[in-house]
Structure 1
Amino acid sequence: MSQKSAFILLLLGLLVASPGHAQRQPSAPATSKPSPAKPKKLSRKERKELARRAEIEVVQSQGRQLSEKDREISESFFVDGIRYLLLEDYNKALERLLKAYALNPANAAINYKIAETNMLSGNLQDATNFAQAAVKLDSKNAYYHLLLAQIYGSQKQYDQAAQVYTTLIRDVPDSGYYLFNLADLYITQGKLNEALSTFNQAEKQFGPLDEISFKRQQIYLKQNNLDKALQEGEKLVQANPDEVRYVLAQAQMYAANNRFPDAIRVAEQALKAEPENPQARMILADIYRQQNNPTESQKQIKLAFESPALDVDNKVRILVDYIKQLPNPALTQPALELAAITTRVHPKEAKAFAIAGDIQTVTDHKAEARSNYMKAIRLDNSRFQIWQQVVLIDAELNQTDSLLRHTDQALELFPNQAPLWFYNGVAHILRKDAKKGVKSLEYGRKLATDNPELQAQFDTQLGDAYHELKDYAKSDAAYDAALVFDANNAQALNNYSYYLSLRGEKLEKAKEMSGKLVKQNPDNDTYLDTYGWVLYKMKDYAGARQQLEKALKTSRDATVVEHYGDVLYQLGEKEKAQAEWERAQKLGGASPLIDRKIKDKKLYE
């Protein structure tokens, strides 16, 4: 034989001996040229033409013995086809391999590689045919069986795939390990009894194995055969007393099925091996909770939280469950304690401080919540939701300076968030800078085009801001726009009607709005004062007196007291009016005219 022929045979032997694509994807040989783009799947017409040409060549080759020259040519086409297969050029690979097949159709390796190429290019029917041929030509080659099983599996033909594995295990020496593949295939099909039988067969051949016990346990659970599942678990624990994951799984299974004494026994066994194991603590905590022993349950969960081995994500998930149950007096303190432990054990985790802030917000510890939110922001300032929580707390606590500072900081990171512009505008208004407030509110309103409710809130604040700037036309337009969206907008109804009364304009409209609001909120002293003042401006002093006296049942606001004094003066009760003015002066916060009224004992408006 020539040296060239010997080299080709050597390469052929190496390729046939390799597992091929049925087991692994070989990497392409190193080359300085870029890898070719993955070709498209062969068209049906192309596959037919290649098969037709191969059939013609097969027919032509029949009836004659393969010559040395034809053998060399076939091997050359085969090697060439393998090269293109490694480069994932399946069209050229299949063309070369079919030429090799035409010269030597009884070669098992050629059939195998044609099957593999067809499988990889998506032609599963032809892949099946050639894989079957390869198995018939060489029934002792495990790789041929495995490829055929893989092709059947790709087509969800699980019964055929199972039969291939059965034949492989029976006919090919040293193939017992494939019992595990067969068992997994049975599980996929839901044939659990067959899977159990196969695992039992594997255990007879290989002896007790953790993998067999574990998978058998999972099958028993699917069959709702708890006793056998627990037996398998005990086998795993006894065989691996230091393997804590098996111990914990067994404890969890006992606990899930209300076998609490056994669950506690096994969980404590895990703690003997690993005294600080947080999973064991969490199992015990859940058991004691179900046994209505909150003290011991909280003790165990706190011990689990003290462990860095229980990662912050798990702690966050647990705390989220607490939030879902809050407010609950029995859980408030435990939740706060766990949140504090989380921030202490994970001082560099933003999510630890964020969840602590959430717990404190829900339990009405707003100042502490804001402090934790700010710590979270210092660790990670990219989460808008945390900034939003900080801003909301600033507003709730009426801390205008903080509100302005934090919205300014947040807007540098999130300039397109309309809610931040809203609160920024509110902060400027509260700081008596209505001009800047209007600028922020108008800009933010443009960003809220997809949120009509938020736009209505912007309109309400713009009504207040434009009033401060004495741009009454824009103020009225803003209030009207807010009321178009929500005719019961309390802030818009109250402020709009009050400012109209101060201006002495559209008093009938002001009366209608404030009267509507009082009807909806008959005990609200602010709304009663507004309605009373509108009636005062309409010279309905008796009606105004009635509304203001209702307001004074709950209000100690100097403005309300001063208004009441004004009404009394108009009704001719000047001494009573003087007494109310003096009371308003002592309360603080009355109008700038209060001193003149008292000094001159005369009404000034």
Structure 2
Amino acid sequence: MRQVALYVCVLLLLASASQGQGIGRGGAADSAVARKPVKLSRKERRELARSASQVSVAPKVAALSPKEREMGEALFVDGVKYVILEDYPKALERLLKAYTLMPDNPAVNYKLAEANLLSGNLRDATGYAESAVRLDGKNPYYYLLLAQAQASQKQYEAATTTYASLVREVPNSGNYLFQLADLYLAQNKLPEALATLDKAQQQFGAMDEISFKKQQIYLRQNNLPLALKEGENLIAANPTEPRYVLAQAEMYAANNRLPDAIRVAQQALRLDPDNPQARLILADVYRQQNQPAEVEKELRLAFQNPSLDIDQEVRIIVGYLKQLPDEKYNALTLDLAAAAVRSHPKEAKAYSIAGDVQTLTGKKREARDTYLRALKYDNSKYQLWQQVVVLDAELNQTDSLLVHSDRALELFPNQAPLWFYNGVGHLLKKQPQRAVQALEHGRKLALANTELLGQFDAQLGDAYQELKDYTKSDAAYDAALANDPNNYGVLNNYSYYLSLRNEKLDKAKEMSGRTVKQFPDNDTYLDTYAWVLYKQKDYAGARQNLERALKTTKDASILEHYGDVLWQLGDHPGAVAAWQRARKAGPGTSPLLDRKIKEQKLYE
């Protein structure tokens, strides 16, 4: 029954179209607009092109016999069916045959245009649509299909001409003036767009859409007075609508009419006392007037409103991030970030930006925890994971560093920095073998980043030293220094470990000496240099550098080293006293310290 109904319906449409009434009123063109074009294969295109070339020269049929008319109508119905089923090759085959019988039927031309448009054959779609318009110049859908085919080929002038013809030729088609105005705007034909909107206004009276579009045109023409006048018209027509008042205030602010901007923004607040956009406009105006206290006040009031969009809040806070850390802005930025979190408690962006603010203002522990809350709502952001593990490392929270880097690596196994921090965590946990595994794997991922590669080599030097694989340790240190000869951390560690092994002491002295020269007050570097000198039996030089170090530290290991040096210099009571102070100072001493104190004798 459905097929019979469709057949009867299409026959009625065909008959009305052949009499100049058109077909598809009420949505036939809309179907072409809504459906996505389907590209035909090259073979299908060749076959259809051959058929089209044959029908293009077909003579006009003066009169059809009843049998021919019935055949043409059946082919047309079949073609329409296949268009609905989106089988465009079959649809075009049937419609082209119908066209050979009824080339002057606008409905047939229209359906051919639609089928070609939907199958991606834009040139033929344009040709058949032009024929449909020529055969029935009163059907708006024929113009719309033609304009769509032209616009799809970026023939905007032609599409504009088609819309202009539609408005001119088809009765009661004034509603298409708005699309025509948009086409003029797209081509930057501002006078034509204004003239078209004036026609729409004459036909439909004052409308918000018309005033708004005219206002945008006046702004593009740098005609501020007329743009403001249209804004006043919008406000007058919508006295209880804050958005038009706000748009007017923004226009005043953007054009340095600051008192007017304040006046109109306050007008919006009388309509909606909690409106955050009005507060932001006022904050911007006060910023231009260099009134920081008023800026703060308005921003805080705006951020108190949960309706303020999170993206807008983030943009404002990002503006302050560039100023941090700065005592003038720290408190305000922290408060705004906290307000964003309160207003959007399940929004990862709020926690992320708050973590950034806390990081830059030195609140590292709070920042790490805030980033973790962001990851609770969105764990897909690698940058957040990286921030977390970096802060774990800076806070010396080794267990957290390993937990978080392991979780991050499950999501981002190809990110070299995560492997680096995972390796550092294992190294800090005295798990050098696992550290080497993580660091060697990450190093392979960092080959294109020389700076990061140097950091991997530095940590691998430490890890292999712990494993007593001194050949690999030295090679890693040498690679790190080849990448950055002034890596003072590597210079210090490398020279210290060489001194412990009593190997390459001249090289150790040169590296440690460079480090101390650059950082003459660093107690750790002074201790290393002193210990290299000690190993070279330069006890006086060692004593001098250790006494410099002890001016700034009471580190247990440095005190123990000082005692060893004093013993070698013959000051045995001074040595024992230094060892005793080392035991009281805390951990970091050698396992031999208690024996040295008990027996009052140097053991190495």
Q: TM bucket by the smaller chain?
A: 0.7 to 0.9
- Output aligned runs, 1:488-499, within 5 Å: 488-499=486-497
What's the CA shift for 1:100? 2.3
Q: Which residue of 1 aligns with 2:268?
A: 270
1:25 maps to 2:32: yes
Gaps of 5+ in 1: 29-35
Do the aligned partners of 1:41 and 1:122 also contact (CA within 8 Å) in 2? no
Q: Which residue of 1 aligns with 2:146?
A: 148
What's the CA shift for 1:538? 1.1
1:49 maps to 2:50: yes
Q: Which residue of 1 aligns with 2:504?
A: 506
What's the CA shift for 1:204? 0.8
Do the aligned partners of 1:5 and 1:72 also contact (CA within 8 Å) in 2? no
> Equivalents in 2 of 1:27, 1:412: separation in Å?
43
Q: Which residue of 2 aligns with 1:130?
A: 128
Q: Which residue of 2 aligns with 1:204?
A: 202
Deviations, residues 201-250 of structure 1 (Å, cap 9, x unaligned): 11111111111101111111111111111111111111012222222211
What's the CA shift for 1:304? 1.5
What's the CA shift for 1:329? 1.5
> Equivalents in 1 of 2:411, 2:124: separation in Å?
59
Letter in 2 for 1:325: Q
Letter in 1 for 2:216: Q
1:528 maps to 2:526: yes
- Mark the CA change 1:346 to 1:121 in structure 2 (over 3 Å): closer, same or farther: closer
- Mark the CA change 1:145 to 1:587 in structure 2 (over 3 Å): closer, same or farther: closer
Is the deviation greater in 209-218 or in 580-589? 580-589
Q: Which residue of 2 aligns with 1:548?
A: 546
Do the aligned partners of 2:32 and 2:118 also contact (CA within 8 Å) in 1? no
1:348 maps to 2:346: yes
Q: Which residue of 2 aligns with 1:282?
A: 280
What's the CA shift for 1:336? 0.8
Gaps of 5+ in 2: none
Q: Which residue of 2 aligns with 1:247?
A: 245
Q: Which residue of 1 aligns with 2:358?
A: 360
What's the CA shift for 1:573? 5.1
- Mark the CA change 1:569 to 1:355 in structure 2 (over 3 Å): closer, same or farther: same
> Equivalents in 1 of 2:151, 2:585: separation in Å?
86
Other structure's SS at 2:31 match: coil
> Equivalents in 2 of 1:184, 1:38: separation in Å?
29
- Output aligned runs, 1:398-437, within 5 Å: 398-408=396-406, 410-411=408-409, 417-437=415-435
- Output aligned runs, 1:11-410, within 5 Å: 11-13=13-15, 16-19=22-25, 22-25=29-32, 39-40=40-41, 45-55=46-56, 57-58=58-59, 61=61, 64-408=62-406, 410=408
> Equivalents in 1 of 2:186, 2:43: separation in Å?
31
Letter in 2 for 1:519: K
What's the CA shift for 1:381? 4.2
> Equivalents in 2 of 1:129, 1:393: separation in Å?
66
Do the aligned partners of 1:42 and 1:121 also contact (CA within 8 Å) in 2? no
Aligned-pair identity in percent equals: 63
- Mark the CA change 1:10 to 1:478 in structure 2 (over 3 Å): closer, same or farther: same
Do the aligned partners of 2:562 and 2:575 also contact (CA within 8 Å) in 1? yes
> Equivalents in 1 of 2:33, 2:337: separation in Å?
51
> Equivalents in 2 of 1:503, 1:8: separation in Å?
97
- Mark the CA change 1:68 to 1:361 in structure 2 (over 3 Å): closer, same or farther: same
Do the aligned partners of 2:39 and 2:119 also contact (CA within 8 Å) in 1? no
Letter in 1 for 2:263: R
Letter in 1 for 2:247: A
Other structure's SS at 2:59 match: helix
Do the aligned partners of 1:38 and 1:89 also contact (CA within 8 Å) in 2? no
> Equivalents in 2 of 1:440, 1:49: separation in Å?
66
TM score, norm. by length of structure 2? 0.88
Q: Which residue of 2 aligns with 1:32?
A: none
What's the CA shift for 1:576? 5.3
Letter in 1 for 2:74: S
> Equivalents in 1 of 2:11, 2:379: separation in Å?
66
Q: Which residue of 1 aligns with 2:11?
A: 9
Is the deviation greater in 203-212 or in 145-154? 145-154
Is the deviation greater in 477-486 or in 532-541? 477-486
Is the deviation greater in 269-278 or in 515-524? 515-524
What's the CA shift for 1:580? 4.6
> Equivalents in 1 of 2:53, 2:425: separation in Å?
82
- Mark the CA change 1:141 to 1:429 in structure 2 (over 3 Å): closer, same or farther: closer
- Mark the CA change 1:534 to 1:180 in structure 2 (over 3 Å): closer, same or farther: same
Other structure's SS at 2:32 match: coil
Do the aligned partners of 2:405 and 2:419 also contact (CA within 8 Å) in 1? yes
- Mark the CA change 1:484 to 1:242 in structure 2 (over 3 Å): closer, same or farther: same
Do the aligned partners of 1:179 and 1:198 also contact (CA within 8 Å) in 2? yes
Q: Which residue of 2 aligns with 1:31?
A: none
Deviations, residues 572-598 of structure 1 (Å, cap 9, x unaligned): 455655555555455445445455555
What's the CA shift for 1:158? 3.2
